A and B are shown apart, each in its own frame.
Chain A
C-alpha cells in the first residue's frame, strides 16, 4: 500500500530565510511525487513533480524539491521565503508501478512572518 506523511502541521519562517517543508513516502514501486499549494478559499495549485531523472526538481514561484530514494523523502525547499508564500502545502504520491490513485498528505501550514 502507498502512503505519504508530512510530519509537521505547521512551519514558521522569517521572511528572507530558507524554508523546508518535509515529506516522506512509502510505495512498493517507483514513486511519482508531487507538491501542491493551497491559498485560502482556493483549490490546490500544482508546484512541481518528480517522475524520474535528476533528483533536484525545480518548480513554480522559486520552489524546488529534492528526491532522496534512500530516505524515501521529497522535501520542498525555497532559498528565501516571502510573506506571500504563506499557505497550505500538500505532498502527494502515486505508485508508478501499480497505477494507483494519487495519495495526499494531510498538509503543512507554512507561515512566513515579515
Chain B
C-alpha cells in the first residue's frame, strides 16, 4: 500500500445526484492532488493543494468542487455531473508541490455517471 486511501472505490451516480469522494494520506505530506484518468487519454491534473491552500485549478468545471480541511484529507464534491465525467479519479500526495518529490497515489475511485 502507498499510504494514500480513497473512498469509495466505486461510485455510480445519476446526473442530478450530489456525492463526495474522500482521500486521506498517512505520509505526513504537505501537498495533495486530484487527477482524472479516462480511457485513451493522458492523466489530467485537476486540483493541487499545498499546505491546505489551493495552488492549481486546471480549468475544471464548477460541478467539481474540491475541499482540503487539513494536510491529510482531501475531498472532491460532485454535483450535476455529465456522462463524460465517468472516469477513474485518483488522489495523490507528495512532500511538497514543487521540486523533485515523487507523488504517491491512492487506488482511485471508479466513477460512473448515468
Contact = CB atoms under 8 A, between A and B. Distances in A.
Q: Which of A99, A101, A107 has the most CB of B within 10 A?
A: A101
Contacts of B45: 101-102
Interface string A22-34: 0000000000101
Given A44-B90, A99-B99, A107 B105 contact: no
Contacts of B98: 99
Contact of A104 (B4, B43, B106): B43
Nearest to A47: B102
A43 B102 contact: no
B90 A49 contact: no
A41 B43 contact: no
B66 interface: no
Contact of B103 (A42, A46, A51, A107): A46
B41 A34 contact: no
Interface residues of B, number: 23
Nearest to B105: A43
Contact of A32 (B6, B100, B108): B100
Contacts of A32: 99-100
A67 to B, nearest CB: 13
A101 B104 CA distance: 15
Contact of A43 (B48, B58, B90, B100): B90
Contact of A41 (B41, B99, B107): B107
B41 A96 contact: no
Contacts of A104: 42-43
Contacts of B107: 41-43
Contacts of B58: 101
Interface string B91-114: 010000011101111111010000
25 contacts: A36-B105, A41-B107, A41-B110, A42-B107, A43-B6, A43-B90, A43-B92, A43-B105, A43-B107, A44-B43, A44-B90, A44-B92, A45-B2, A45-B105, A46-B102, A96-B100, A99-B98, A99-B99, A101-B45, A102-B103, A104-B42, A104-B43, A105-B42, A106-B41, A107-B42
